Amino acid sequence: MKQVRWGILSTAKIAQNELIPAFKRAANAKVTGIATSSGIEKAKAVAEQFDIEKTYDSYEKLLDDPEIDGVYIPLPNHLHKKWVMEAARKKKHILCEKPAALNAEDVLEMKQVCEEEGVLFMEGFMYYFHPQHKRVREIIESGEIGEVKFIRSAFSFNLAQKENNIKMIPEKGGGSIYDVGCYSIHAIRNILQAEPNTVHVHAVKDPEYQVETDVVSYLTFPGGVRAVFDVSFGLSKRSEYEVIGTEGRIMVPRAFRPDWFGGDGIIVVEKGNFSKTETISVGTDQYRNEVEHISHAILDKYSLKDLEHDFENTVNNAKVLDACFKSIELEKKINV
């Protein structure tokens, strides 16, 4: 099978722990090179660990390599826009970690450049490629839980090390909303297949670092559907959502990180006094699925709109993130 030749922009932990191994598991992708801006020895060490052929002491040198077809960007959030646009102008396809950028205006600029240069871009919401979410949609569409009226989502973990942690630096896109809140917003929107009318966010900010560490948000959607999400850097690990209808409810306790539990998804459906549990165990390598999807799109020359996770989805998620931050700033409900 033909493989897309990928380059990695930085030696970030998520690249080493999750994505480079996923690229190695993928049938249609290969990591050809890795670049760093903090000394070539670091890139060489990672390259040796993962059997990567090429190393570069700058991102520009990797982008100039004609033997690289696409780049994965796991850089800090505030650098996504710059390097997505640089990569697009070098005709490289792009898989970029979430959030795509720090606001919707920047995402729209990125979209324009990618369209002009004819390259594919996909935001790295890996959870979206786990089959449990398709199954949730099937259950909803079957009418089994009646009409959906409410969704609740939560994503949290206890961030023990705050000092020198990029998640705690506001100017670099730190804070719990960018880090994990974007997942809950994304899941709520995509399960409902609708965009919110309003958001009202209550946030607790760290007094030293001035980023929001704990957030509870209330969203309203067309047709009277409501949603709540809470995210935190100070609570135990949770990665879940719940869909509540007029006749029953669906609980997904491993929504975003089923890999914490070996990869299998779990769906619990309750209706009246009846409860059933489904274990989703086939095709559950969500990072590999993500890599293979965009690599397949590159090989088959998809357009931006043909991606399963397209730019419109990314733009709409960014608009909700913007509204969340405006709500925190003004301490009131905001129209999206």
Q: What is the pLDDT of residues 219-265, one digit of tens each?
A: 999 999 999 999 999 999 999 999 999 999 999 999 999 999 999 99
Contacts of 167 (CB under 8 A, 6+ apart): 159, 174, 175, 179, 211, 233
Q: b/e per residue, 168-201, with b = 16+ CB within 10 A?
A: bbeebbbbbbbbbbbbbbbbbbbbbeeebeebbb
61 SS3 class: helix
250 SS3 class: strand
Rg (the chain; Cα; Å) = 20
80-137 tens-digit pLDDT: 999 999 999 999 999 999 999 999 999 999 999 999 999 999 999 999 999 999 999 9
At residue 320 the predicted structure's pLDDT band, cuts being 50, 70 and 90, is very high
Q: What is the pLDDT of residue 38?
A: 87
187-209 tens-digit pLDDT: 999 999 999 999 999 999 999 99
19 SS3 class: helix
The distance from CA 168 to its chain's CA centroid, rounded to whole angstroms, is 19
Q: What is the pLDDT of residue 304?
A: 82
C-beta separation of 168 from 263 below 8 A: no
* CA distance linking residue 72 with residue 69, whole number of Å: 10
At residue 305 the predicted structure's pLDDT band, cuts being 50, 70 and 90, is confident
Q: What is the pLDDT of residue 243?
A: 98
C-beta separation of 73 from 86 below 8 A: no
Report field, pTM of the whole predicted structure over 0.75: yes
Whether omega before 99 lies within 30 degrees of 0, making that bond cis, reads yes
Q: What is the pLDDT of residue 7?
A: 98
C-beta separation of 313 from 122 below 8 A: no
10-48 tens-digit pLDDT: 999 999 999 999 999 999 999 999 999 988 999 999 999
Task: Answer yes or no: is pLDDT of 1 > 80.
Answer: no
Which phi and psi angles does 41 have, rounded to 5°?
Answer: -65, -35
C-beta separation of 96 from 123 below 8 A: yes
